[in-house]
Every structure is written in C-alpha cells, then in structure tokens.
A and B are shown apart, each in its own frame.
Chain A
C-alpha cells in the first residue's frame, strides 16, 4: 500500500496525484513510467512520471479520466494498492546529455503528454540546455502546469484549435514556422499529434523522438500488448521504449491497436459509473 498525499483535479478531465513511494523515484530518469493500481482487483495503469521530490520521497503523476480505471483512480483518496516502477528507459537526451551538447532541442507536447515533458526540460535546464516547448490543446482552459513549464523552458509557445489562446491551429503550425531553429524534436502526446509532428519533421529531415503510450499490462516485457511496429519490426514499448525514433514508427498501426478493447472498455466504463454512483464529474 502506498500513501496518497493528494489526488486533485487540475482541470475538467485532468488530475494530479502525489504518492509516497521512494522506491520508484530514487533512481528514476525523466521519461520513465510507473504502473499504478487503485485496488487489488484494479487494472494496471501505466503513467509517465511527471515529477519527483527526492527529499520527501514523493512521486507525482498527471492523468486524464478516459475510462473506467482512470475514473476509479480519480476517486482514490488514501492509498494505492500498487505502484511499480520506474519502468522503461529514460529519455535518450536526459540519459546521455553530453551527447547532445550544443544541439537545439524542441519539445512538443499535447494533452497530458505535456506532463512528462516538464521533468525532461527541467533536467536539461539544470544541465545548461536552453529548450523550447510547443504546447497544444483544443482550447485555452485545457492547458495545465503552465507556470512550471515556463519556469524551466527557454520559451513556451502555445497553440489552440479554436484560437482561444496562443496561435490558432496545431502544434505543427508553430513547429513548421520554427523548424529551422531545431536539430532535434521530442514529441509526447496523442498518437495522432505525434504522427503529424513526424510527418512534418521527416519533410525537413529533423530527428524526432516520440514517446509511445500503447495498451499495456505488466510493463516488464512479458505480455506483448504494448508492441509497436518500429522499422517494420515489433518492439515492446515497455522495455524497448517507451521512446522510439518517430520516423520509424508505424503510427497507423498504433492508432488501430488503441481500439482493440474499445467495446469492452465502454462496458466497463458504464459499470464503473454505476458502481461509483452517478456520472463522472
């Protein structure tokens, strides 16, 4: 059992969770993930690490309520049954910062994908890098952790689909305008966003790293649910990733694989709403 320090709503659909679990954070590298279970009979939910506090032994995660299990998680107040991690490999730049000295780096984040962007930019700032961030959302009130992001990034550029904040358009609208400023792009967010970013950067031949977030069960290289096609070969996001060379990822296959359990998940969501009494608020 792991003590929950807080589990708070930070906008309509997004929550921030702080957990006392020193074993996960002691050696964590930005870009790694953890798997949480609310109760003994809950699903295992993989979430990329948002922040850590080594002094207090706290792990911070940000998640969106998208289905039965994240809805259940959003109601947990006291403790979690299981928190396993850190899992996967750390971000390639943060793992080998010396190899990237002098490179002009841009992070592109969308949705809750912005959460794992923050610790990476923070880590790189501490190593003397100046990193730009492009952050996109459907509309202005969906932006989260802006203050923290702005405190570590060289510059944060915002895009909204409806033009309610920043540039009207997509992250790619901004990225294309500035593409000549960057040697390497790291994109973390919805698969469709990462695909668009890669389509663009391929055109300009700018190296792009993506962080895949497929369905996953054990997260330790055992079930193969998380396999992604990379360079024509099956790779496991949990142990070979979650980061891959974005120009080699088959995003169409990844998009389709996300729907494998769509029908089952719908049923589980209805059951969970019923069980928790009332609608998802």
Chain B
C-alpha cells in the first residue's frame, strides 16, 4: 500500500450482511485509525475544514488521534458537531470535507468520516460525555421536532444554560435518524446514546405530542423565550401514475418506518412488513438506497430504478457500492409509466419507458427525456416510491408564519417571519441531508443566544 491509498475499514461481508440488519461498516481499530491519521498532511490552510458544513477542526482532531489522545480528539470534534457518531456514518463526506483534501488530488482523500466515527465511538464506549455543571440562565426554549436540526439546536442551547424542551410526535426521539436511516447504516443505539447525552445536559424531551394539535405554535411563542421549528420534510411524494394506489405500492418512508421505528425486520415484531419476491424501488437518493437495501435483506430480488444514469445518482457513493455488493440490481435510464394490477388490486408489474440523457448544462444535473415507443413491461409484486419528501406543516396549524409557494418556511438566516421563532433543516430547505439540518440547528442556536443573552 502506498500513502496514496487510504486504510480500508473492515466491513461485514456482503454474503453475511444480506441476511441481517447489523451495521455494514465495522470501523477502524486503533492501529488502522492511527495509520490512516498518519496520512494527513496537516495543511496550513486546511481546505477540509471549509468543506465541512459545521467546520470541524479536522487536522487538529486527526493530530490528536496520532498522539493517542482520543479524549482531546473528541473534545475538538464535539466543539463543532453535536452528533459526531451520526455524522461520521451518514455525511456525504466525498462531497464535503473529503472532496477538498489535498491527498485526493493524486490519490485517495483522508478517510475523515471514518476517523470521526472512530473517535465518536471511542467516546461512547468510554463514556467520555461527562457533563460539567451548567449554570442555568433561566430562559426557556421550545423546539418542535427531535430530528438532527432540533437535537443540535437543543444541545447548543443547553450547553449555554438554556432550559430546553423538545416536542416530538412519535414515541421515540431522533426523527429521521430513528425512523428513516436503517440499523445497518446507523445503529439505533448510537442515536439513543446521542439523545441520552442531551438529556444529561438537561434537555427535556416530550414525546407523543403533535405540535399544532396538542399545543399550538402560538402557545409555544407565549410560553417560551424563543421557538425553533425543526419539523423536517416527512410527506412522501408519489408520481401520480395509474395504479399507484394498488396493494403493493408503498412510499419508502412506510417501508423504512416499519423496519426502523417499528422493528418489523425482526421475526417477532408486532408490526408486519410485506415480503416481496421482486421489488422495484423508484428513485436514486439515500432514501431509495436505504429502502432497496432493506428490502434486499428481507429476501427480495431488489431493483433500483432511476431515470437518469448511474453517474447522476444523488446517493452517497459508499451506499451505491454497498448496494451493488449486496446484489441490488440497478436499472438506470428507466422510468415507470403505470403500475399493473390484478383483479384484487395487487401489483403484478409495471410498464416502464426508456429514458435518454440530454446534453449537460454547466452547474446542473443532466436532464432526461422519454424515448418514445420504448415502453416495455417488467414483472414485480412491490413498487416503492422514493421520490423525495416535502414538508408537512401540521405543527404550524393556525399560525401566520410566512411560507413559500412550495410550502417551505421562509427564513432570514434561520429567523422566520414570526417574532422569536426560528426554523431550520428540511422544513426550510425541502429534503436535504442530516449535516445541513445540523448546521441550521447550530446557526439558529447562535441566533437565539444573541437574541436573548447579548
């Protein structure tokens, strides 16, 4: 191995892992981590830091790994990111920090994500999250939603002495980290330990409470010094094609919620999940990848159908590689036209059409168009729509908050049109990534601190 190549982390073999939901990547051990850390060039002007949405001081924590000072490495990461064990696993590093790494110019970039995860896991195993006594400032903040933006915002505010209450509609906190991202990519015990850290900081989480119905935003505004809305984008999109209401057509969210939140992959689960012989997941993002790999693990012949070509797949690169290793079949440049059903409304196939790529326009994703007359049929008994999600503003019922025509909350930085109400994450941007939501949560916390303290 030359220094141009990164140290490969250990993974569960594909043959093994398609029969379980355990984590695919097993992470570095101490030797591997140090060896990888030793590849860092410690640039004077580290570009990786600018590539990170929360600007983690990357070379510094990598240096601490080399020096065997993992508590320090953790402290460095933690000072910028409140969910390091999550980000190390789910961030699209190849488009952020790692894409900026000088090593990447003629070899492989430093495996920053894997190193971050190594440090964060060490911290969890060794219980490094001791909480120093925080002096309370007596100010109360309400947070709507316990997903990545809400958790981050809560953590930052609690560290600064605020009395934070998170409202969550589901029985468990974590938002998409809990109901969406599968165990094999993000073990739920990691999410739970991150949430536990917040509770240790004094954050109060009220589950089972649908803001908008149980308590209105208006009431929260009156009862709290400030409110942060991190309600996400949960509403799944459908294509609007014939047969979409058939039995056997699901949203990716339904499949993932059953599997992750309700544990339907376990044989003794009380929530059922449909088993399929041949399943098609429509879409090309991380959610599509999570859904297709989950279905593969339940024993299906699992296809991913994407209307553009493989190059345009928006999913994280590693997920695509893993999916292929697991035997997921990629059907690209194809799009469903209608879903075929039997007399009982069960899915029996799809009519699909071939697509062709249009010329590249600088700075845009390549568009596609149908090839007329190229329709053909495929057999299947399950179709899963993973076409993205839009915000569902049930929590804003009765409020006059300003929104765009597309139903996104309008913000200036993170400040909404309402006094002392802030928002961030998918509710503002539409479906995006965990790290961008965290960045927004962190920004909002900063603005709230300035509003109420400075």
Contact = CB atoms under 8 A, between A and B. Distances in A.
A binds B: yes
Interface stretch (A155-163, A171-179, A203-211, A258-266): A258-266
Contact of B344 (A223, A250, A256): A256
A41 B269 contact: yes
B257 A86 contact: no
Interface residues of A, number: 49
Contact of A222 (B257, B270, B345): B257
Interface string B222-239: 000000000000111010
A231 to B, nearest CB: 13
Interface stretch (B40-48, B150-158, B243-251, B324-332): B243-251
Interface string A65-95: 0001100100000000111111110000000
Contacts of A68: 270
A96 B248 CA distance: 38
Interface string A240-276: 0000000000100100110111001100100110000
Contacts of B263: 41
A83 B209 CA distance: 9
A42 B270 contact: yes
A271 B266 CA distance: 14
A32 B213 contact: yes
A42 B270 CA distance: 6
Contact of A218 (B207, B250, B261, B344): B261
A37 interface: yes
A14 interface: no
B401 interface: no
A44 B169 CA distance: 12
A229 interface: yes
Interface stretch (A23-31, A106-114, A139-147, A184-192): A23-31
A239 interface: yes
B245 A81 contact: no
B254 A260 contact: no
A221 B213 contact: no
A274 to B, nearest CB: 12
Contact of B208 (A83, A224, A253): A83
Contacts of B261: 217-218
A234 interface: yes
Contact of B216 (A27, A221, A268): A27
B254 A86 contact: no
Contacts of B179: 218, 222
B238 A224 contact: yes
B213 A85 contact: yes
Contact of B236 (A81, A85, A223, A229): A223
Nearest to A29: B213
Most buried by A among B169, B209, B273: B169
A43 B261 CA distance: 10
A85 B257 CA distance: 19
B453 interface: no
A220 interface: yes
B238 A234 contact: yes
B274 interface: yes
Contacts of A26: 214-215
B213 A217 contact: no
Interface in A4-23: 23
Given A218-B261, A224-B254, A43 B271 contact: yes
Contact of B392 (A84, A88, A239): A239
Contact of B215 (A27, A43, A44, A261): A27
A63 B170 CA distance: 21
Given A68-B270, A82-B171, 11 more contacts: A41-B270, A42-B270, A84-B171, A85-B208, A217-B257, A218-B169, A218-B257, A220-B169, A253-B345, A260-B248, A268-B272
Closest 7 CB pairs of A and B: A264-B272, A221-B392, A224-B251, A222-B234, A82-B171, A84-B208, A256-B345
Interface of A: 23-24, 26-28, 32, 37, 40-44, 68-69, 72, 81-88, 217-225, 227, 229, 234, 236, 239, 250, 253, 256-257, 259-261, 264-265, 268, 271-272
